[in-house]
Amino acid sequence: MFNRFMLIVVFVPLAVILIALAVANRELVAFTLDPFNPGNPKLTLTLPLFIFLFLALAVGMVVGSLATWVKQGRYRKLARQRGAEAENLRQAISRAPAAPQGSAQGSAQTPVLPKPTT
């Protein structure tokens, strides 16, 4: 249900806007990589304007995604460390001998757990 809602509310209007943008910007434009000799055919690319617009949008999304991924690296590292710590604690608890039934609240034999890493 949520997928259908996203399709109708977000992607259909976005597709309409992108199609309208492509139709309105069909003219060929020259994109040159040589600012000192703009007429150089080896470094000039002539394509419809909407292709350049879509490429700029795609490059912006990739660069933004990479920047977000790099910025969140410390949180991923912390999550890995805490996951390893939790696994070590699970293993330590599973290896610890069970407290005898007659002991008072298990205070006599408390399993020694590793210290948490920070």
- Flag whether the pTM goes above 0.75: no
Q: Where are the domains of the chain?
A: 13-94
Residue ranges of alpha helices (H) inside 1-118 are: 2-6, 12-24, 49-71, 73-95
Half-sphere exposure of 7 (CA within 13 A, CB side): 4
Mean pLDDT of 99-110: 56
Evaluate if residue 76 carries a pLDDT over 90. yes
Q: pLDDT tens for residues 34-59?
A: 888 887 888 889 999 999 989 999 99
Residue 102: exposure state from Cβ atoms within 10 A (0-12, 13-18, ≥19): exposed
DSSP assignment letter at 96? S
CA dihedral sign, ordered 54, 60, 64, 67: positive
Angle at 112 (CA atoms; ends 110, 118), nearest 5 degrees: 130
What is d(CA 18, CA 24) in angstroms, rounded to the nearest whole number?
10
DSSP assignment letter at 58? H
What is d(CA 20, CA 28) in angstroms, rounded to the nearest whole number?
17
